[in-house]
Structure 1
Amino acid sequence: MIQVPHTYAEWAVVLDMFRNKEDDEAVLAVMKQGTIEWQSGVAERFAKRLIDAVNVRMNAASDKFQKDMSRSQGQERAIVQALLALRKEMAFLTKAIDLPALPEKDRQHYLQLVRSQADNMQKSLEDSAKSDRSGKMGSIVRNHRVNGF
Structure 2
Amino acid sequence: MFGLWRERAAPDGPNAGNAPETYAEWSAWFERFEHGGEDDVLLGLAQRGKVNWTRGMANSFATRAAGTLHARMETIRLMLQRHLEKSTDVNDLGRAMVNARRAFAQLSRYATLSCWPDPLPAQLADMIRQTTASIQKSLLESAASDRTGRLAKMLRDNPIDRDLAPTTMVTENGHASQTSGRRILL
TM-score (norm 2): 0.75
Gaps of 5+ in 2: 1-15, 165-186
Q: 1:76-87 alignment to 2 at 5 Å?
A: 76-87=90-101
Q: Which residue of 2 aligns with 1:48?
A: 63
Q: How far apart are residue 140 of structure 1 and its match? A: 0.9
Q: 1:1-149 alignment to 2 at 5 Å?
A: 2-73=17-88, 75-148=89-162, 149=164
Q: How far apart are residue 2 of structure 1 and its match? A: 2.3
Distance in 2 separating the partners of 1:77 and 1:29: 34
CA contact (8 A) 1:28 1:96 kept: yes
Distance in 1 separating the partners of 2:79 and 2:60: 28
CA contact (8 A) 1:90 1:147 kept: no
TM-score (norm 1): 0.92
SS in 1 for 2:139: helix
Aligned length: 148
Give per-residue Cα distances to partners, 1:39-70, cap 9 Å, x unaligned: 12221111111111111111111110111011
Q: Which of the pair is proportionally richer in helix?
A: 1
CA contact (8 A) 1:2 1:30 kept: yes
Q: Counterpart amino acid of 2:34?
A: R
Give per-residue Cα distances to partners, 1:67-111, cap 9 Å, x unaligned: 1011113x1221111111111111111210212222222321221
